[in-house]
Structures are given as structure tokens and as C-alpha cells.
Structure 1
Amino acid sequence: MLRGTVLLLIGVMALGVSASAYKNPLPVESEGIGAGIADPGLLRWMGKYYLYATKVKEDPGMRCWESDDLVNWKYQGLCIGDDPVFADGHGWSPGPFYYNGKFYLYVCGIDQKHRVFESDKPTGPFVCVNKDLIDVNSLDAVPLLDDDGQLYLFYAGWEGVGIQYRKTSSPIKGDGRNQTLPACQFSADSDGNFWTEGPDLWKRNGVYYLTYCGNNWIKDSYQVRVAKGRSIADLKPQKSDKLIMQLTGEWVATGCNWSIRGPNLKSLWHVYHCRKSGGHVRRMCLDRLYFDKSGDLRCDGPTWTQQPNPEPPQCCESFLRSDIGPNWQIKSGEWKIGGEDRLVGCSGEIAWKCPVGANFVAEFNVKLQKSGGKARYGIAIDAECGRADIVVDAASKSIELRSNGSPIAKGSLPQRFDLAAWHTIIIQQHNGRMQVRFDEMNKIDARIDLGSSKFSLIADDCEAAFGWCGFSNYEKGEQSL
């Protein structure tokens, strides 16, 4: 075992990349099929990442990978076989989405239509549930669940139509009115080609950030640009809108991007593809995103030298074991490991012994298993300055922040949400401001000072399950996400 470890380290050093660093483009297991890792789509789920890539005619199906750190990817096989709904065997730009207990993939193709596939697991198998989601002139669809619970689809159009969007009533319907974002369109060359594609969205502090690509992946000038706005209709290119661009060198045509929260929960990362000049096989790249003082989205990339790996969370738990473990202390009620991947509590509270700083970001995955008449479950923060509870109220379908027992803020949840499905709560405490997101919907934004603290999990008049959880502290002066 020791000899194997030494040989592995020597091999890594010989490649010029340390074990704690990566270099673009990333080597990905089983990537050398068809188009390579073209049009990467990413999903974060239970502390892990799932990667999906374009299927071309020669591929046996659509492929899926899993990673803990965004750098090292393990091939999971085909998440969709060679489904006959793929037009001429092509399935492009898979956009993954988790919603209310189901996983979805939005896939376009050579016939200018979109299909949506559904699964119970991020690795599939996915089954087509709507082969005519958007049935004309559409490309590269990605969903957005806005803070008010409204679902949107963003997508591109063929022949220079640019970025478009519509409201939808469910993740498997494209029933809203088509609307366009004429400002989010550009020509990278002097040939008048305004083909713009590959939309992706991120929302921070009430501002929408839209990244998009152009003009054609076969051109070396293919690049990523960014727009921002206080509303979707107001999205316009930010002052310096070129986010990722590489026109010359060994690797070019950087685009078709995806933005995703990093393993430490407080960083934002940009995943995109590149190719060799004159080639067609695409490779995956990774670079960190950040926000400047004006609130513009920035990236010091593309990078082609060694970069530090994304940092892991400061502390995390996956509950992949048979007992509660030494990091937890039961305060009341009954607590046990259920199904070897979740901590289950019945009418009580359990404390997490890991200390938390005054400024932090934390993620908890929760579901309601059995409910009494007044079921409430969630997270408590026991701090130097008192106690804060962030709890889901099952009866009113809301999430509430209480400080020392007094209500501070409350956010309503979509009535169609099934609380028996897994949902993600992200709590961010930064410079006296607490933000709480439920499935990335910003539901609470309040002023509250806590100081150093510890977390507890709460199940009141119910049986609740808690999946992967983790947190990282913000360092002094560090930017919040």
C-alpha cells in the first residue's frame, strides 16, 4: 500500500500537477467518446457533483460523472440510453435540475426542439416525459426557480434569435409565452454572425447574472459574456461583459458554460469547454468566479497553469454509517441513522459538536417523514448572543427565522412543494446579515448578530430526516456569496 502511494505521488509530480492543484483542461474518465465533454451541465446534490455532456450520433447514450471536488470525476455510465426521441441520434447541451423530489435533464437537438427527461436519481436512468417541451427554434434550455417560486426556462434560438425565456407552470411543461432579451446578443467577429447560445443564470443579493456564449463553437473566437439586472427583463451586458475568451494558443473556443456553488459552499465556479484550434473534440475547464466592488461578475480565466483545487467544506457529515457518531449529542427525542445515509429525528433536538464562526455559510438537506398536527423541523444556532431557529412549518408551508423564541422573518414556500421530498436549506451569516435559501430561493434576509455558535437539528411534533450537511466559515474581509 505504501509503495503504491509513493508511486502515485511520483506520477502526479511527473505530470507537473500537485495533488492539491488542477490544470485546464481537466482529465475526465471516459471522456474520449464522440464530442468529448461538450456543453457540460452540472448539478450539486448531497455534497456531490454530477456532470452531463452532449451526446452525438456515435455515442451509445448520454453520459454522467460524479465528483466530490469538481476536479476528479468518476464515470457513472449512461444516464440515458440511445433513446429514439433523440433526433438523428443527437442530444445536445443537457441541463440538469432537481425539483421537488425528481431530477430532470433538458436536452435539445438537431431538429431545433427540446425534450425533458425525468429520474429518481441524479445518475439516472432518465426517461423522456415530454418530447415537445419547446417544439420550435430552441437550443440550450436551462431552468430557473426564482425566489417567489416561479419557474422559468431560458434558452437560445437558431439563426441569431438570441437569448429567450418563458414562465412555466411545471418543470415538464414549456407553456409560457416566449419572450426575448435583445440586449443579450453579440457578434464576436466582423462577419455579422449574432448567433448567441448557452444561457446560464445565477442570482445574488437580488441581482440576476446571465452568462451566454457566441458565436459558434467551431470558431476560435467562441467566448462567454455576462449580463446583469435587477429583473429578468432588465438584463443587459455589464460594463465589462467578456467573462471567458481565448482566441489564440493551444486551447481556444472557450464557452458553453455552467456556474455552480463550490464544495466549501462560499465560492462560485465556472465550468466550460474548450478545444484545440482546428479540432472538434471538446475538453472541460474549471475556473473560479468572483464579484468585484461594483457587483460585476468576474473570472481571471481561462487559466492554463496550475490552480488550487476548490476547497472542501470546513466540516461536513454524510451519515453513510450505521451509528450517530461522536460529533453528535442527543439533547431530546429519539435519533438514529436511517437507511445508512440520513440522520432521522423524532420530536427532539440533536447538537452538532463542530464549532462555527460568527460568519459562515452552511447547507442542510431535509425532508419530512412523518407529521403531527404542528410539525416543525429545521436548524437551531446556539450562539454567544442567544439562539436562532430556522424551521420549516409544515402546516403553513413556510420557513421562519426566530431569535430567542421571537419571530424575526418568514418566507412562504410554494404550495405545490412536497415536504416529504428532499429540500436544501442554505444559511449564510455575514457581517450581521442572515440569508436563508430554500432550494436556492432566497426566503429570508434579516439583520441578526450571533457570534460564534454551534448547530443543532430540530424535529418538533414530527419525524424528520437530515441528509448531507456541511459548513465553512468566512475569513475576515472575505466576500460572501
Structure 2
Amino acid sequence: MKNSRAFYVDGKKIPIGDPFILRHNGKYFLYPSTEYPNKGIRCFSSTDLINFKFEGIVCDDPVTLNAYAPEVIYAYNKFYLCTSPGGNGHYIFVSDSPLGPFKRITENIQNMIDGSFFLDENHHLRFYRANHNGISMVFLDENGQPSKRENIHAPLYGWTEGPFMIYKDGFYYLTYCGNHLESKGYRIHYATSRSLDEDFRPSNQPLLISTKDEYCNLGHSSTVLAPDLDGYYLVYHHLFPLEVTEKGTRYTRNLCFDRLHFNGRMMSTTPTNFEIDDPKMPTLYEDLSLTQNQFDLNYPLVLSKIGTDVDFTSEFNFKQNGVILILSYQDNQNYIGIECENNKVTLKEIVNGNEKIIKEKELNLDFNYFHTVRVINGIKLEILVDNVPVLTFNKVQGGKIGYLTNTIEGIYFTAFSNYANGSSDLDYKLPLPSILDCKHDLNQGEFILEKDDIYSKILNFNESAKFNVISQKKANYLLSCLINSTDEARVEISTKNETKVVEITKTSTEYEFITKSLTFIDIDKEDEIKIKIIKGNLKYK
């Protein structure tokens, strides 16, 4: 996979600006801005984030002239689309399909530009949008009407736009960008919080920026779950001159993806314009409404032919009230069940044929309609409905997945991967230059959550950290480390072509982390960086 990507329809280049990607029922739907003087909102679909198919115009309402930053979400049992035509307020549309047709249900609800949807913990729709110095949020009801404006602490100390929110592993991550899309310094920033209703903490550095002549003006992102069900990709555009005339410069924009990496509240990525690893597909996946090759149908049991590892993420897409989702299946006397009936989720444990209700929760939704349940079994078991966290429990064992049902009618894309809580990142090379955080150390081990909500790791004598990396070309890099060392330490740093030994002095206190420049070292285009402790010990982030 390589950035930046141009799209063509009938031989004509289509600018992909302000890209938003909806993931629904195992498929991806890309909605870019509509360039002036055209109207209508285009859609492209994909199953793997590599190959895209033009699906046509999904909304042709006359107000969609020069439609900025369209976004789509599934909420209140239908698909909502928002856009800001010409950057002059917003209109809301609805449809029964991500492919439309979307019909307008509001007049202009104002709220500046770059509206972005998010379902909160009550399955209520929130609407984030640009502001002069930060990001603002309003609630949207089923009729697309806004209320209760709040300002989010997400400053770029100037015009701020392009907000997007995700939830992952107990944190909310808000990305946003500024200050002007034609600036080489156009960038993506982020802020984090453990609650949507608490103050967001902005990062002290951009998430993504590049001022290289050949690859700059990067921004306006969305974030989407990877095909492997575990990782995330930052989706953004690359603006560049198409032609320069006496009347001025005409720009176009291409589509870009880069994989996000998480360490507690910290998020990082690298803007790449060179080949990186393609997204991986789930271990097992199938839309049961189309085929049944990966599952055995022995009603009332519908079970995968293979089971998961101990760590896994599974996904169920269905429209069947009362269905029971199956995890950790050993036999018909021992498994985990998730009952989805009316507006309630009930987590059950079946041991030796005896059923025990572990937890249950009433939700502001109706299982007579389509919904997606994702189950993450890593640090703990976490259940999300339509990307909203609803229940947690202790980690369970691996096993087959499936359904307890009398029919596969209303059963759709079902999948699992043997990854959880970002473990898939270890199977992808880390692009350079970048942050190599301890959570992505191939040697793993135990992690310590520090007071700043970022994990650290202790390396003792003779232990090492190891990272697989990739870059545009072989180069000499400066390696620095955010480090805590209560005693003097010595480290051996090695790559394919070079080994260096570095002395590390102790830090002032056991709580202090400081950035230390260690050494310059040659790193190949594809390489392994190994940092081994040959004296003392240290803690690093």
C-alpha cells in the first residue's frame, strides 16, 4: 500500500478531499468532498482498504453543490449523512442504506463546517464541528435538530477544523486539523479523555505533519477500524498543485492512509509516501447471508469451523431480535453467550450445561433492527454495540464463535481475528521516522501505566527491546529515548549494519522521565532495531 492515491471515474480524475470512510457490515464506504461547480455526493466501496469501486452518486439533492466533508453514521436505526455545502452551515440527510439514496430532513442547521457524527455511551448522536479556536459539539435528535452546544478544549490557536472522534480501550481520541489547507504546515492534532464529558487533554505535538515539497498539505482526517478488526487507520488527504496559470493555482487532492499506534492516551503515526504493509484481513470472515462456507449450520447452533486463540476480537452483524451470540465455544455444555433481545444485552456463562447471567444492560436501541456487536478479548472482555462500549467482564478462553438461532435470515458479516487491544500492530513494520513506543516492542512483557496515562516498560540487565521498521530509504537516524534510569546503565543498540554502545546517566528521581539523545545509527529500508541492556536497568516509554 502506498500514498497518495488518485481515483478515476470513466477516465476522469476525482479529487478525494476531506475523506471520510464508514465501516459497515464488513465493508468500507468512502465519501469525499464534492469539488466546485459539481453537486451530488459520490461514494466508493471496498472490502480491504486497497481496492475501491465507484458506487455512484448517493445523494443528488440540489443543496449538495460543492458539498464539503460529507460523513455518514448508522444511528436511530437508519443512516444519517451530513455535509456543509460551500462551507455554509450543515444539512442532514437520511437513508436505509449507506449507498443511499439520501433524502434531506433538515434545512440549514448552521454550525459552521466539517460536521462529524459520534454515538455516545447512551447511543445518543453527538455532532462535532469546526470552531474559531477549538472544536464545538451539539447533540442531534432523530430529526437532525441540534441542541446543547458545548466547546471542547482542542486548541490550535487559530482556525480549527475537521474533527473526528473514536473510542478505544477506555479512551476517547479526538482528532482535528488546521490552520489552512493550502499551508505546507497543515496538520492533524489530537486530544484525549477518559470521558466524553470531561476535559480533553491536547497532545503537545502534532499527530501528523509533513512539510516536504513532494508530500505536504496533509490533513482533514477520519479514523477507521482496520480489516483485521483490531488496528486503526488514519484517513486523510494530500493537497498538491494540479496546474499553475495566470489566474492562480488549481489544486487537487489524493487519498492517504497511515496506521495509528496507541500507548495509553498517546497516539502516533507517520505520514508515508512509500510502500508500507497492506492491511491484513481477519482470520475468519464471511457474510452468512451470501455464503456459509466457514460455518457449520446445525440449528439451533451456527458455529465457525475453527476457533479463536486466547486473545481475539470477534464481530457479529445481524438483524434478528432475541439471537444469542456465541463465544469461547468448547461444546454445547460450555460456552459464553451474549443475548440481544429488544433493548437489552445479557452476558451469560454456560458451564457444564448450567447457565449463569453475568451482566446485563438496557440500551437506547432496538434489536429488531440491524446492529453490530464487537467483542474484544484481551486485557479483559469488552462488548461494544455499534462501536459503543456497553459491558466488560474478565477475559475468557478462546473457542469457536457463532449464533444460537433457528435461522440465518438476518445474519450477516461475521468474523474474528486473533488480535486484541492493538496486538495486530506487532505484525506490521513501523514506518520511520516515528515514535517507537514500548507497547510496540516485539519482546512485549509487562507494562506500567504512568500518571500521565502512558505506558512504560522496565528493561533489566540482559533484556532487550526490539522493533521491526521500514522507511523510504537507508539513512542515518538519531535515536532518542524517553527514559527513567535510577542508576547508571549501558545499552547496546544494533541494526543490520551497525552496533553501538551508549552510556546512560541516572535521572534525578525515580518518577522523572526525560528525553535523552542516544546515538546516530544507520538503518536500512527494512530493518530491526534492537536495544539491549548490558549494564544496570532502565524504564522507558
TM-score range, shorter chain: 0.7 to 0.9
Q: Distance in 1 between matches of 2:281 and 2:85?
A: 36
In the alignment, which of 298, 307, 310 is matched to residue 331 of structure 1? 298
Give, in whole Å, the separation in 2 of the partners of 1:218 and 1:470: 41
| Conservation of the 8 A alpha-carbon contact between 1:40 and 1:51 | yes
Q: Map residues 262-277 of structure 1 onto 2, 5 A cutoff.
A: 262-276=226-240
Write the distance in 2 (CA, Å) between the matches of 1:424 and 1:52: 21
In 1, the alpha carbon distance for the partners of 2:148 and 2:167 equals 22
Identity %: 26
Aligned to 2:8: 29
Any residues of structure 2 matched to 1:167-206 within 5 Å, and which?
Answer: 167-170=139-142, 172-181=143-152, 183-187=153-157, 194-206=158-170
2:176 corresponds to: 212
Whether 1:149 aligns to 2:99 is: no
Does structure 2 retain, via aligned residues, the 8 Å contact 1:381–1:456?
no
Alignment partners' CA distance in 1, 2:417 and 2:203? 32
RMSD: 2.6
Correspondence for 2:70 among 72, 94, 101: 94
Contact 2:376 2:420 in 1 (8 A): no
Aligned positions of 1:336-355 closer than 5 A:
348-355=300-307
User: Which deviations, in whole Å up to 9, do the C-alpha atoms of 1:146-189 show, x marking residues without a partner?
Assistant: 122222111113xx24310012332x4233121112x31214xx
Structure 1 residue 458 and structure 2 residue 404: aligned?
yes
Give the Cα–Cα distance (whole angstroms) in 1 for the partners of residues 113 and 282 of structure 2: 35
Q: Matched residue of 1:95: which SS?
A: strand
**Counterpart AA for 1:149:** H
Structure 2 counterpart of 1:357: 309
Alpha-carbon separation, structure 2, partners of 1:425 and 1:329: 21
Distance (whole Å) between structure 2 residues aligned to residue 97 and residue 475 of structure 1: 24
1:228 corresponds to 2:192: yes
- Alpha-carbon separation, structure 2, partners of 1:197 and 1:173: 21
Once the 2 structures are TM-superposed, how far is the Cα of residue 331 of structure 1 from its aligned partner?
Answer: 3.4
- Work out the CA distance in 2 between the residues paired with 1:218 and 1:403: 56
SS of the residue 1:258 aligns to: strand
SS at match of 1:391: strand
Task: Call closer, same or farther: CA 1:69–1:479 in 2, change over 3 Å.
Answer: closer
What is the Cα deviation at residue 205 of structure 1?
2.8
Change (3 A) 1:477 1:105: closer
Distance 1:308 1:58 in 2: 37
Give structure 1 stretches of 5+ with no counterpart.
Answer: 1-21, 188-193, 333-347
Can you list the C-alpha shifts for 1:6-65, whole angstroms capped at 9, x where unaligned? Answer: xxxxxxxxxxxxxxxx11002323398687101111101111100001113322421110
Aligned match of 2:258: 287
Contact 1:31 1:37 in 2 (8 A): no
The 2-side partners of 1:94 and 1:222 are apart by 20
Q: CA deviation at 1:476?
A: 11
Q: 1:84 matched to which residue of 2? A: 62
d(CA) in 1 for partners of 2:271, 2:94: 33
Instruction: Tell which has more relative contact order, 1 or 2 (C-alpha 8 A, sep 6+).
Output: 1
Contact 2:289 2:409 in 1 (8 A): no
In 2, are the aligned partners of 1:264 and 1:311 still within 8 Å (CA)?
yes
Query: Residues 194-252 of structure 1: CA distance to partner in whole angstroms, max 9, x if unpaired?
Result: 01000000112332110000001111111100001122343434444411101122121
* Runs ≥4 residues deviating over 4 A: 31-35
Shift of 1:459: 2.3
Query: Looking at CA atoms only, which structure, 1 or 2, has the larger radius of gyration?
Result: 2
Does structure 1 retain, via aligned residues, the 8 Å contact 2:84–2:90?
Answer: yes
State the TM-score, normalizing by the size of structure 2.
Answer: 0.72
Which letter does structure 2 place at the counterpart of 1:231? S
Determine if contact 1:117/1:127 at 8 Å carries over to the other structure.
yes
Match of 2:344 in 1: 398
Q: Partner amino acid for 2:415?
A: G
Partner of 1:71: 50
Once residues 282 and 52 of structure 1 are traced to their aligned partners in structure 2, the CA distance between those partners, rounded to angstroms, is 13
Paired residues of 2:79 and 2:98 also in contact (CA < 8 A) = yes
Amino acid at match of 1:30: V
- Of 41, 51, 55, 2:30 maps to 51
The CA deviation string for residues 358-403 of structure 1, in whole angstroms up to 9 with x for no partner, is: 11001110112xx6xxx44333431499411111123xx2111111
- Deviation at residue 131 of structure 1 after TM alignment: 2.4
C-alpha distance in 2 between matches for 1:64 and 1:180: 31
What is the distance in 2 between the residues matched to 1:45 and 1:350?
A: 22
